[in-house]
Structure 1
């Protein structure tokens, strides 16, 4: 994406890109098909990266067309296709079950790389959009193969070791603040409540108490005054989440988190909080939304999860944005904003377009 946490940089060798797939995605993919957009003159720069679980054979063609449509939104010069799988090599006999060499006779078929049928479907889907596949790779057990390579290095039993060391892609990821998760489940775990222990019970009690206070103040002061109070509480909480020595050991009290959560139930407060993702406190706001989502009981987790999705999306972390939107929609399946955001993310709306959309929305709210 244009505002990816891994800046668009010059493409190194194929092995470097294969090794960088976890950094491009934000987590280590498993049993996945990944398309990497190659942009710039001659397709020399890494752009948008899209991923999906490996499909059953009957769904391969449909998935191929879906992925091709998504990566095409980046207007790539070419695409690098990678299958990440621990599947073993497969046998590919002819219709009679044995390969036949003229003048020699039948002999046992040779093994070939797995998931070749899926690769074929993806290549066809991209070709229908006039997008060439630069290379089609299998990444497995610390090695990579090129599906089209005729040389011994790409025979099923061989493969090339993934390069080690600090590549330019890895350096760019660290500079951009990317945090690599061991898998998508680890991203989910970052915002999953701790369970039914004393901490969860205390947080639930704080939310009940804050909810009663919130309702009473709405009755006595009115929505506008309560919204102003909520905005001030959120600003103070964001300040305490700014990175630095003064806040390194700070954990927001349950009562403060509860007040933020109830404040975000007011649509105008939640919408104004979107502006935090555009300013200098974007990182601190993302810390706050992460903490609120992780500690909130259902359905109070919906608004902070939505804001977390926006924050992650704007810094190019589509994986975390998807996880957060799943959480927001689980809290309230009918919620309009997370549903619109999910549709935009599925359509690969770039972060720059989302940033502009939020800016226009805030300007209209201020004018109105």
Structure 2
């Protein structure tokens, strides 16, 4: 990842969609600030704005997650189109934006500050982002009065340019992110894919009986490796779509645990990007429950490159397909606990080196 410098508070506020992978709405976002003086952006966590009665519990949960990144400080942002409200100061306020009106969601900000203080993590800035402008909840000057605010920086930011260069596509919201891997909503395409999977399943079972699991696993691994190669970027693969029959063979191949684990190893190698393309395509087109394993592999690939939002929606898809599956459940627990990508990489590498399956 390139080193991107965000020059001021407005740039950080404008960068929130790129830190999350989608444009947040009605959200509370916490950005860990690490390094000397808190100059480096670390873990970013987000949640929907809670009901007032749930604000304290949510604040404690978010603070516990962010504390796993050992931040020097935190930038807190509330993204909301809620209107201003009558001025109701809370006990910690020495001054406010004015006696007649107040920024919305100040009570939630207060709860988050208290929750982070319990972990000895200071809040460097608490911002409201609304209608293309930003406010500082603690700023006593006219620029942060409820009717004022500072415009978010315009144009393409360095972070946005770096994200595009790295292949990231910003989603409109979390639902749009999930829609990228959503199954087709019926129609001839879905029916054809289902039929291809039935044929491939019969062939898979016949071959298992005839040749045995060890031979079949070798053949299945070769099929997956060939499909990954077909997804490598370049003129030969540009604008191509894997046939249904080939995707179906990959889906059945991944039902073998040993093949799945070897496929998992591709996330650690030079074919990681090509593999993620394949897992995305398989997840999008697979019928339930064959979508569980590719969705799990997609989650690992996204997580290892720092895209926690895509990893979350992929694990949601995997667990919806097979609620009892062990690996996606464990991964979901690790992601909820904010396990860093580097630690996940070590865990995968160690499990593959030891010869144990990744369960």
TM-score by length of 2: 0.94
Matched, 1:67 2:62: yes
Query: Residue 201 of structure 1 corresponds to which residue in structure 2?
Result: 191
1:22-45 CA-to-partner distances (Å, cap 9, x unmatched) read: 000000000000000111111111
1:93, CA displacement in angstroms? Answer: 5.5
Contact 2:88/2:102 (CA < 8 Å) preserved in 1? no
Residue 366 of structure 1 and its aligned partner are, at CA, apart by 7.8
Structure 2 SS opposite 1:250:
coil
Distance 1:308 1:174 in 2: 20
Cα drift, residue 8 of structure 1: 5.7
Q: 1:122 to 1:196 in 2, by over 3 A?
A: same
Change (3 A) 1:325 1:366: closer
Q: What aligned pairs does 1:144-155 form with structure 2 within 5 A after superposition?
A: 144-155=134-145
In structure 2, the partner of 1:343 is 333
8 Å CA contact 1:91–1:110 kept in 2: the answer is: yes
- Paired with 1:230 and 1:157, the residues of 2 have a C-alpha distance of 63
Which residue of 225, 239, 259 corresponds with 2:249?
259
Task: Give the gaps of 5 or more residues in structure 2.
Answer: 90-97
* Greater Rg over alpha carbons, structure: 1
Residue in structure 2 matching 1:53, options 41, 44, 48: 48
Q: 1:167: how far off?
A: 2.7
Question: Secondary structure in 2 aligned to 1:112?
Answer: coil
Note the aligned Cα RMSD (angstroms). Answer: 1.5
Structure-2 separation of matches of 1:364 and 1:164: 51
Q: How many correspondences in the alignment?
A: 349
Tell whether the 8 Å contact from 1:37 to 1:76 is kept in structure 2 after alignment. Answer: yes
Work out which of the residue numbers 175, 181, 194 in structure 1 matches 2:171. Answer: 181
- Runs of 5+ consecutive residues of structure 1 not aligned to the other structure: 95-107
- State the 1:171 CA deviation: 3.2
Paired with 1:40 and 1:309, the residues of 2 have a C-alpha distance of 28
Query: Hey, what does 2:261 align to over in structure 1?
Result: 271
- Determine which structure has greater relative contact order: mean sequence separation of CA pairs < 8 Å that are 6+ residues apart, divided by chain length: 1
CA distance, structure 1, for counterparts of residue 236 and residue 190 of structure 2: 27
Change (3 A) 1:93 1:183: closer
Q: CA deviation at 1:109?
A: 5.4
- CA shift, 1:250, in A, is 1.3
C-alpha distance after superposition, 1:290-325 (max 9, x if no partner): 000000000000000000000000000000000000
What corresponds to 1:86 in structure 2? 81
Within 5 A, what are the aligned runs for 1:15-164?
15-92=10-87, 110-164=100-154
Alpha-carbon distance between aligned partners in 2 of 1:109 and 1:359, rounded to the nearest angstrom: 58
Residue deviations 1:259-299 (CA, integer Å, cap 9, x gap) = 00001111111111100000100000000000000000000
Q: Take 2:320 and 2:36, find their aligned partners in 1: how far apart are those partners?
A: 43
Dislocated runs of 4+, deviation >6 Å: none
1:244 lines up with 2:234 in the alignment: yes
Could you tell me whether the CA contact under 8 Å between 1:8 and 1:45 is conserved in 2? Answer: no
Would you say the 8 A contact 1:154–1:160 is kept in 2? yes
